[in-house]
Structure 1
Amino acid sequence: MSGTRTLCCHVNTATLSFAIIYLIVNVLKLVGIFLTVSWDKPEYSVYYHESTALKGQRVFDISTNILMLVMMSISAVLVFFSQRKGPMFVLPFSLMMVAELSLSFLSLFNGAWGLPGTSSYKEMLQAVRRVSAMNEEDIGQFTMWYSVLFMVEILLKVYVFQVSMKCFYALKEKRVSAIHVDTGNAVTVKLPSYDEALKMKAEDTPPTYQEP
Structure 2
Amino acid sequence: MIAKASPSESVERHLTFCCHVRTASMVIGVYYLLASVMLCVDQILDVAYGKNICGSAYKEQLPAKERIIDVTTDFILIAVLFISSLHMLYGIIKFRERLLLSFLLLQCLDIFLSVLSLFSPSWGLPGTINYDKAVMHWQKLSGKKEFTSNEMTKLFIIFTVIFTLCILIKVYVVNCVIRCYRFIKAHAEEARNVSCKYDINPMIKLPSYDEALMMAPAYKKV
* Matching residue's letter, 1:154: I
Deviation per CA, 1:75-108: give whole Å up to 9, x if none.
Answer: 1111221121611111111111101101101101
Q: Does 2:200 align with 1:191?
A: no
Cα distance in 2 for residues equivalent to 1:71 and 1:123: 24
Q: Does 2:65 align with 1:56?
A: yes
2:118 to 99, 105, 108: 108
Cα distance in 2 for residues equivalent to 1:73 and 1:85: 20
**Paired position in structure 1 for 2:103:** 93
Cα distance in 1 for residues equivalent to 2:153 and 2:72: 35
**Paired position in structure 1 for 2:30:** 20
1:154 to 150, 167, 171: 167
Deviation per CA, 1:19-50: give whole Å up to 9, x if none.
Answer: 11111122111101101211145x8463x72x
Give the total of aligned pairs: 200
Aligned to 2:150, the other structure's residue is in SS state: helix
> Would the aligned equivalents of 2:107 and 2:170 in 1 still touch at CA under 8 Å?
yes
> Would the aligned equivalents of 1:45 and 1:58 in 2 still touch at CA under 8 Å?
no
- Structure 1 residues 197 and 154, CA, compared in 2 at 3 Å: closer, same or farther? farther
Root mean square deviation, CA, Å: 2.5
Aligned to 2:178, the other structure's residue is in SS state: helix
**Paired position in structure 1 for 2:190:** 177
* Matching residue's letter, 2:94: R
Cα distance in 1 for residues equivalent to 2:127 and 2:14: 33
Cα distance in 2 for residues equivalent to 1:164 and 1:17: 11
Cα distance in 1 for residues equivalent to 2:74 and 2:162: 23
Q: Does 2:134 align with 1:120?
A: no
Aligned to 2:205, the other structure's residue is in SS state: coil
* Matching residue's letter, 2:32: Y
Aligned to 1:5, the other structure's residue is in SS state: coil
Aligned to 1:81, the other structure's residue is in SS state: helix
- Structure 1 residues 124 and 198, CA, compared in 2 at 3 Å: closer, same or farther? same
1:37 to 40, 47, 71: 47
Cα distance in 2 for residues equivalent to 1:84 and 1:8: 23
Q: Does 2:78 align with 1:69?
A: yes
* Worse overlay, 190-199 or 160-169: 190-199
> Would the aligned equivalents of 2:100 and 2:177 in 1 still touch at CA under 8 Å?
yes
- Structure 1 residues 13 and 202, CA, compared in 2 at 3 Å: closer, same or farther? farther
Q: Does 2:152 align with 1:144?
A: no
Identity of aligned residues (%): 26
Q: How much does 1:186 deviate?
A: 2.6
Runs of at least 5 residues in structure 2 that lack an aligned partner in the other structure: 1-9
Q: How much does 1:146 deviate?
A: 0.7
More RCO (CA 8 Å, sep 6+): 1
> Would the aligned equivalents of 2:113 and 2:123 in 1 still touch at CA under 8 Å?
yes
TM-score relative to the length of structure 1:
0.83
